[in-house]
């Protein structure tokens, strides 16, 4: 009981900065450690000295994105609702939502695997694979889809664990996943020589490890949700509450995939080195983005709990301090990586053409990362407070805008336009998010 009271104390009464630190630092550590194995994947494949393999793993990134999105759809929708229910002391209803999240994740992953298997060749072509990379990309894609249930389950359960403020346990699961990946990557890629299939297998087994840990924690140690696995059903009203928030994650993923596909298809015309450079730059820039995301995800239970309780003063102070944290963290990391950008790119490849374009791409991506942190926080605020429409508007805006932006910029500026299209889109999305937040904040003041 002490652990649960401690977690709830941070949501309800602890000083704001202390609460943010308790809830977000474990998430930031966990997510940052998670980015390490994305970088390590590219590093080990890079040791094979095969640009086609590195390109195939880059082309396959949308698969991980869609699997993660389904996990987040159930996890964010279910997790934020669980927090609000706990704040209202509706524990049985919260267990029902947690159980529904678990079983829906498994069912969705089975359906995705079946559909993907039936249309795998069109999927691989859509990802942007050419004759040289088709075989590698197909092997990677099939392995990811068949083992995708571990990824969906991991992302869903991690957010349910965090829903009651158990941020350390959430971090432990991420660390388990990363450690397993660091073991399996060299084993499958270098020793067993499974190349891109090994990358996918390592990812799948590492997510399985963390999923098992989360199931164990929720089933046996969680004070609020213990025994959740025995709950198969929840009401239609509760399902609507889950999906109205969770569906924004699916929209974000769909548009992120469109973004990646457009980037791949526009950049492939400039050669494999450009595609590989995008892959490397995206992985590096994930670090500040994931730090901001970790902080935003960490404070979601704080926002959801106090919104549900009507403690709007604490809610506003939590948002204000979180914004300052994101500004500081993003600025420091972006500045450091920019200063050492050439050295960082050189870690992944000695190809001179890749180095030149890689440094240029990373510069544009780093600027984008500064705005992305606040965009993530805006979305987290809307999700935590059950604001379905603003969540969806943010998700759709980010995706829809990118399509005309990259087409227009490519037409007028060619490769330069492709490289800067994501940055332009991110700045506009930030402005939309700021306007929606001002409207949300106005409504909160009217409540007081």
Residue 33 in tokens: 């450690």
Report the number of secondary-structure helices (H) and strands (E) in the chain. 17, 0
In the predicted structure, residue 434 carries a pLDDT above the cut 90: yes
Please tell me the predicted confidence (pLDDT) of residue 113: 92
Give me the mean pLDDT over the 377-399 stretch: 84
How far from chain centre, in Å, is Cα 128?
22
Rama region for 233: left / alpha / beta (φ>0; ψ in -120 to 50; rest):
beta
Tell me which residue range forms the domain holding 256: 2-447
| 193 membership: H or E segment, kind and range | none
Lowest average pLDDT, out of 213-222, 234-243, 327-336, 352-361, goes to 352-361
Residue 108 in tokens: 């969705």
What 3-state class would DSSP assign to 224? Answer: coil
Please tell me the predicted confidence (pLDDT) of residue 166: 78
User: What pLDDT band is residue 209 in, cutting at 50, 70 and 90?
Assistant: very high
Q: How many percent of the chain have pLDDT more than 70?
A: 91
Q: 167-186 and 148-163 helices cross at what angle (nearest 10)? A: 160
In the predicted structure, residue 397 carries a pLDDT above the cut 80: yes
Report the length, in residues, of the chain: 448
Residues 6+ apart with CB under 8 A from 51: 272, 273, 276, 351
Lowest average pLDDT, out of 136-140, 152-156, 157-161, 299-303, goes to 136-140
Residue 400 in tokens: 């829809």
Give me the mean pLDDT over the 273-289 stretch: 77
In the predicted structure, residue 448 carries a pLDDT above the cut 60: no
Instruction: Please give the Cα distance from 158 to 80 (Å, whole number).
Output: 12
Instruction: Please give the Cα distance from 157 to 72 (Å, whole number).
Output: 9
Please list the helix, strand and coil fractions of the chain in percent, rounded to the nearest 5, in that order: 90, 0, 10
Please tell me the predicted confidence (pLDDT) of residue 49: 63
Residue 305: HSE in the Cβ half-sphere, 13 Å Cα cutoff: 25
pLDDT tens-digit map of 58-114: 777 778 878 888 888 898 888 888 888 888 778 888 888 888 999 999 999 999 999
Q: How far is CA 412 from CA 405, 418, 425, in A?
A: 11, 10, 16
User: What pLDDT band is residue 36 in, cutting at 50, 70 and 90?
Assistant: low
Instruction: Please give the Cα distance from 262 to 126 (Å, whole number).
Output: 10
Lowest average pLDDT, out of 13-27, 151-165, 243-257, 399-413, goes to 243-257
Please tell me the predicted confidence (pLDDT) of residue 280: 78
E strands present in 144-287: none
Burial 344-356 (b: 16+ CB within 10 A, else e): bbeebbebeebbe
Greatest mean pLDDT among 31-40, 260-269, 288-297, 365-374 lies in 365-374
Residues 6+ apart with CB under 8 A from 2: none
Q: What are phi and psi of 434, to 5 degrees?
A: -65, -40
Residue 317 in tokens: 């102070």
What is the number of domains present in the chain? Answer: 1
In the predicted structure, residue 5 carries a pLDDT above the cut 60: no
The more confident residue out of 107 and 198 is: 107
Identify the DSSP state of 194.
Answer: -
pLDDT tens-digit map of 331-374: 888 888 888 877 877 777 666 767 778 888 888 888 888 888 89
Residue 86 in tokens: 């706990």
Select from 73, 63, 77 the least CA-distant residue to 108. Answer: 73
Instruction: Please give the Cα distance from 245 to 269 (Å, whole number).
Output: 38
Please tell me the predicted confidence (pLDDT) of residue 152: 92
In the predicted structure, residue 153 carries a pLDDT above the cut 90: yes
Mean pLDDT over each residue of the chain, to the nearest integer: 82
What 3-state class would DSSP assign to 142? Answer: helix
In the predicted structure, residue 2 carries a pLDDT above the cut 50: no
Please tell me the predicted confidence (pLDDT) of residue 331: 87
Give me the mean pLDDT over the 246-256 stretch: 76
Instruction: Please give the Cα distance from 40 to 128 (Å, whole number).
Output: 23
User: What pLDDT band is residue 31 in, cutting at 50, 70 and 90?
Assistant: low
Please tell me the predicted confidence (pLDDT) of residue 122: 87
The more confident residue out of 398 and 321 is: 321
Burial (Cβ within 10 Å: 0-12, 13-18, ≥19) of residue 111? exposed
In the predicted structure, residue 1 carries a pLDDT above the cut 60: no
């Amino acid at each position: 009981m002490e652990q649960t009271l401690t977690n709830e104390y941070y949501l309800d009464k602890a000083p704001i900065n202390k609460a943010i630190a308790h809830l977000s630092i474990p998430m930031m550590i966990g997510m940052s450690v998670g980015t390490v194995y994305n970088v390590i994947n590219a590093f080990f494949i890079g040791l094979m000295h095969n640009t086609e393999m590195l390109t195939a793993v880059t082309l396959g990134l949308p698969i991980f994105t869609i699997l993660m999105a389904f996990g987040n759809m159930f996890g964010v929708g279910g997790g934020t609702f669980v927090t609000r229910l706990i704040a209202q002391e509706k524990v049985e209803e919260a267990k029902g939502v947690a159980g529904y999240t678990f079983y829906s994740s498994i069912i969705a992953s089975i359906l995705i695997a079946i559909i993907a298997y039936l249309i795998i060749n069109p999927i691989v072509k859509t990802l942007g694979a050419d004759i040289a990379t088709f075989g590698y990309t197909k092997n990677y894609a099939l392995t990811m889809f068949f083992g995708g249930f571990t990824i969906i389950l991991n992302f869903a359960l991690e957010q349910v664990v965090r829903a009651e403020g158990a941020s350390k346990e959430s971090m432990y699961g991420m660390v388990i996943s990363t450690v397993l990946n660091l073991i399996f990557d060299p084993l499958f890629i270098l020793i067993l020589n499974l190349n891109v299939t090994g990358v996918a297998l390592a990812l799948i087994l590492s997510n399985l490890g963390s999923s098992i840990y989360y199931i164990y924690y929720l089933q046996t140690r969680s004070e609020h949700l213990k025994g959740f696995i025995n709950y198969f059903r929840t009401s239609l009203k509760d399902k609507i509450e889950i999906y109205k928030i969770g569906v924004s994650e699916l929209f974000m993923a769909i548009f992120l995939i469109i973004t990646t596909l457009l980037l791949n298809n526009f950049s492939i015309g400039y050669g494999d080195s450009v595609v590989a450079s995008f892959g490397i730059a995206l992985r590096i820039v994930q670090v500040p983005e994931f730090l901001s995301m970790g902080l935003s995800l960490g404070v979601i239970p704080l926002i959801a709990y106090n919104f549900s309780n009507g403690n709007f003063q604490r809610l506003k102070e939590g948002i204000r301090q979180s914004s300052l944290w994101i500004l500081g963290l993003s600025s420091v990391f972006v500045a450091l990586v920019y200063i050492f950008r050439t050295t960082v790119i050189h870690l992944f490849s000695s190809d001179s053409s890749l180095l030149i374009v890689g440094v240029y791409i990373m510069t544009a991506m780093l600027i984008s990362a500064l705005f992305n942190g606040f965009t993530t926080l805006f979305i987290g605020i809307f999700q935590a407070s059950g604001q379905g429409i603003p969540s969806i508007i943010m998700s759709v805006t980010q995706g829809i805008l990118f399509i005309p932006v990259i087409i227009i910029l490519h037409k007028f500026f060619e490769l330069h336009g492709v490289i800067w299209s994501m940055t332009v889109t991110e700045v506009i999305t930030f402005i939309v998010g700021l306007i929606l937040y001002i409207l949300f904040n106005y409504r909160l003041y009217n409540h007081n």
